[in-house]
Amino acid sequence: MDHPAHTITESQNMRTTRHVFNVILRDPLALISTVIIIFFILIAIFAPFVAPYPDQGQGSTNASDTMHPPSAKFLLGADRLGRDILSRIIYGARPALVVPIGVVLFAVLIGAPLGALAGYKGGWVDEVIMRITDLFLAFPSLLLAMAIAASIGRGLDKAAIALVVSWWPWYTRIARGAAVSLKEQYFVEAAQAIGVSDTVIIFKHILPNTLSPILVQATVDLGTVILAMGGLAFIGLGTQPPSPDWGLMISEGRTFILDQWWISTYPGIAIFIVVLAFNLLGDTLRDIFDPRQYK
């Protein structure tokens, strides 16, 4: 069974999706950013086929070419263990992109329903959820993530868990704001009037309509989460050697920065370009629908 109100919101969603595509196609910066992001996602997926030295990309050492400067053999040079930097950047795109996308996804999956519940229910439920949220927001996010990552043990997966724990409250806040204004709308009141249960209302009517502000915020956050993952790896709490990771590569080359500058410089450029692309895309999306209007 479909409520008429629900059908209307669905067609609205379709229309906004098409609108977003049109805007991205027309805005050159957003288009380039999207192309860059897709490019990096593709090389992350097809890493074994595009990397010149797939085994070195994954960590196996090559003692005969330590600190090899950029050349025809190693386009971007080789590191302390003789591994091709280009191959490691290509393999490093996996943790750099896939993991932050997963982090934001899980943070949304935890944060958004809680926020929708708080906003829709109000009263003590709202009070309890939002006060807990406030506690997590009282920390600088990265500091909290560092402390959690250190205590549950180092590693890419642990760093990801730590970031999810410190990131979900942001989405709770946004979803709550959206839910509070949606609660007053006719289609929600109509659903209540015909006796639809709260759970169904929250998941079928409230949550889908909080999606657009949350998606915008998530795109904007992706750049920040990529930086945070890189930062955790840089100080030694994220990906552990010999796995490839851009932040870790920068840290590994730090000691040799004045002479073998290529070890740190190229992975740094990779992080910078990807974060820049997400920020530019996020800016465009934010111009289309400003998530702050729900706060």
Partner 1 sequence: MRAFEFIFRRILTAIFVLIGVSLITFSISHVVPTDTAALYLGSTRARPADLERIRIKLGLDRPLPVQYAIYMKDLVHGDLGDSIATKRPVLQELTDRLSATLELLFFGMFIATLIGVPLGVLSARWQSTWADVFVRIISIVGVSMPAFYLGLLMQIAFFRNLDLFPLSGRVDSNLRFTNPIDPVTSFFLLDTFLTSNWIALKDVFHHLVLPGFTLAAYPIGLIARMNRAAMLEVLGQDYIRTARAYGIRERVITYLYALKNAISPTLTVIGLTVAYALTGTFFVEVIFNWPGLGLFTVRSLLALDYPAIMGMTLLGASGYVLINLIVDLLQMWVDPRIRLK
Taking CB under 8 A as the rule, does residue 236 contact partner 1? yes
Q: Are 120 and 206 in contact (CB under 8 A)?
A: yes
Q: Tell me, what DSSP letter sits at residue 98?
A: I
Task: Using the minimum distance from each CB to partner 1, give the nearer residue, 46 or 272.
Answer: 272
Instruction: Quote the tokens at residue 223.
Output: 């750049």
- Touching partner 1, residues 258-287 (CB under 8 A): 258, 261, 264-265, 268, 271-272, 275-276, 279-280, 283
Taking CB under 8 A as the rule, does residue 251 contact partner 1? yes
Question: What whole-number distance in Å separates Cα of residue 17 and Cα of residue 10?
Answer: 11
Write the interaction track for partner 1 spanning residues 204-233; mark x where CB under 8 A is met and - where it is not.
-------------------x---x--xx--
- The one among 26, 60, 139, 197 contacting partner 1 by CB under 8 A: 139
Question: What whole-number distance in Å separates Cα of residue 92 and Cα of residue 44?
Answer: 8
* Residue 294 Cβ vs partner 1, minimum distance, rounded to whole Å: 17
Taking CB under 8 A as the rule, does residue 237 contact partner 1? yes
Task: State the Cα torsion 235-238-240-242 to the nearest 10°.
Answer: -90
Taking CB under 8 A as the rule, does residue 146 contact partner 1? yes
Question: What whole-number distance in Å separates Cα of residue 232 and Cα of residue 234?
Answer: 5
Question: What whole-number distance in Å separates Cα of residue 115 and Cα of residue 109?
Answer: 10
Question: What whole-number distance in Å separates Cα of residue 63 and Cα of residue 110?
Answer: 46
Residues at the site binding partner 1, with contacts judged by CB under 8 A: 131, 134-136, 138-144, 146-153, 223, 227, 230-231, 234-237, 247, 250-251, 254, 257-258, 261, 264-265, 268, 271-272, 275-276, 279-280, 283
